[in-house]
Amino acid sequence: AQSVAQPEDQVNVAEGNPLTVKCTYSVSGNPYLFWYVQYPNRGLQFLLKYITGDNLVKGSYGFEAEFNKSQTSFHLKKPSALVSDSALYFCAVRGPLTGGGNKLTFGTGTQLKVEL
């Protein structure tokens, strides 16, 4: 079975500082990894994905994520946080086709709060 862990319920950061939102995963075989963001009472918006290739993936709104196979991690990063980045962030994994690969499995989410 595939799973995702987001160890921090909330991350607080000052505007202009770098931010990191942590994610670790468990899946059989090669993972397909995704980050989504959710604003209040809204659906999820896709930020970025890792399928294969370069371990550093760049996505929307200046976000990037680093895939680390040995640590089974896919941490979300941004060099300089904005107050408008404050939202709920979800990491998700999709496994190989034979291992539940038709669905995304989400973590419990990390609330990011960026303060002035």
Partner 1 sequence: DTGVSQNPRHKITKRGQNVTFRCDPISEHNRLYWYRQTLGQGPEFLTYFQNEAQLEKSRLLSDRFSAERPKGSFSTLEIQRTEQGDSAMYLCASSLGRVTEAFFGQGTRLTVV
Least distance (Å) from partner 1 to the CB of residue 45? 7
Q: Single out the residue of 8, 15, 44, 75 in contact with partner 1 (rule: CB under 8 A).
A: 44
Least distance (Å) from partner 1 to the CB of residue 78? 19
Q: Is there a contact between 15 and 83 (Cβ–Cβ < 8 Å)?
A: yes
Q: Backbone phi, then psi, for 98, in 5-degree steps?
A: -80, -5
Q: Alpha-carbon distance 111 to 74, whole Å? A: 17
Instruction: Confirm or reject binding of residue 31 to partner 1 (CB under 8 A).
Output: no
Least distance (Å) from partner 1 to the CB of residue 74? 14
The CA-to-CA distance between both ends of the chain, in Å, stands at: 41
Instruction: Confirm or reject binding of residue 8 to partner 1 (CB under 8 A).
Output: no
Q: Alpha-carbon distance 55 to 75, whole Å? A: 11
Choose the stretch contacting partner 1; rule: CB under 8 A; options: 13-21, 63-71, 77-85, 97-105: 97-105
Q: Alpha-carbon distance 103 to 7, whole Å? A: 22
Choose the stretch contacting partner 1; rule: CB under 8 A; options: 16-24, 34-42, 66-74, 75-83: 34-42
Tokens of 101: 């690969």
The site for partner 1 (CB under 8 A) is made up of 4, 32, 34, 36, 41-46, 49, 51, 90, 92, 94, 97, 101-109
